[in-house]
Amino acid sequence: MKLENLNEEHCSHRKSHHPEHVKKDLITRLNRIEGQIRGIKGMIERDVYCDDVITQIAATQSALNSVAKILLEGHIKGCVVDRLAEGDSEIIDELVITIQKLMRK
């Protein structure tokens, strides 16, 4: 069975286990990113100079990368460690794919 299919089967009942303060931090960051995206859209609508728009896009990408790093750290320290302790070594393959997805940028 391909790992992608295995992940789809597990996704229906798996949940992350972020502490409440981490969850609040992630939501705050994502709200800020949402605002940045709206701001970029407005810049395009107002014909703002391209370099200024690109600068805002780079800042937004950096903010998204920060969210991804927080999530990846929590995933490794929580989900991966737990599943390894349960003897589920397939989590390593899943982790490699996840890291590859993040590195495509």
Domains of the chain by start residue, with CATH: 19-103 (1.20.58.1000)
Quote the mean pLDDT of the chain.
88
pLDDT score for 59: 98
H helices within 46-89, ranges in order?
50-74, 81-85
- On the question of pLDDT at 9 being above 60, the answer is no
**The model scores a pTM over 0.85:** no
Instruction: Write b or e for each residue in 17-33: b if 16 or more Cβ atoms lie within 10 A of its Cβ, otherwise e.
Output: ebeeeeeeebeeeeeeb
Residue tagged 């703002």 (tokens): 48
Average pLDDT over residues 36-49: 98
Radius of gyration of the chain (CA): 18
- On the question of pLDDT at 57 being above 70, the answer is yes
pLDDT score for 104: 87
> In which band, very low, low, confident or very high, does the pLDDT at 13 lie, cut at 50, 70 and 90?
low
The C-alpha angle 30, 71, 20, rounded to 5 degrees, equals 75
